Amino acid sequence: MFHRFCYFLLFASAAVSAAPTRVVPAFEVHATVDKKDTSLHFDKGAAASIINEQFLDGVIGVTDDFAGKQVPAYIVFAPSVTEARLMELVNFQGRLKGVVHCARVRMGNSPLFPGIKVAVLGESCTIESINH
């Protein structure tokens, strides 16, 4: 009986660790803009795997909301936006545009990504509207 319980715990811990996550990992960001609970407009978007390479969890596009010129935008969706919803948009790669509401939006750069001079990162976003 005890062995069955150990196997159950092992299986349960493996299942939990394999569960997809949409939490942006902590890394150094030199943010020039840091807003909470705000909307973000994007254009030229494509459904993408941003946090977890095994499934679609966001959109990569451009935005001109903060810099006055187009800068790359990385939008990570909240778990309420399912991968199935994002799969519906795959046929329109590069043509998505819309508005998302994000728990946090940062614009800046990071020494972890030296090739990106400035970008916008939207975290835990929900869809307000998406067109193609």
List of residues 6+ apart from 116 with CB closer than 8 A:
72, 109, 110
The reported pTM is: 0.80
Dihedral sign computed on CA atoms, order 27, 129, 55, 23: positive
* Residue entry with tokens 């991968």: 83
pLDDT digits (tens, 9 = 90+) for 67-121: 789 999 999 999 999 999 999 999 999 999 999 999 999 999 888 878 888 999 9
Q: How many residues does the chain have?
A: 132
Torsion of CA 22, 26, 32, 37, to 10 degrees: 40
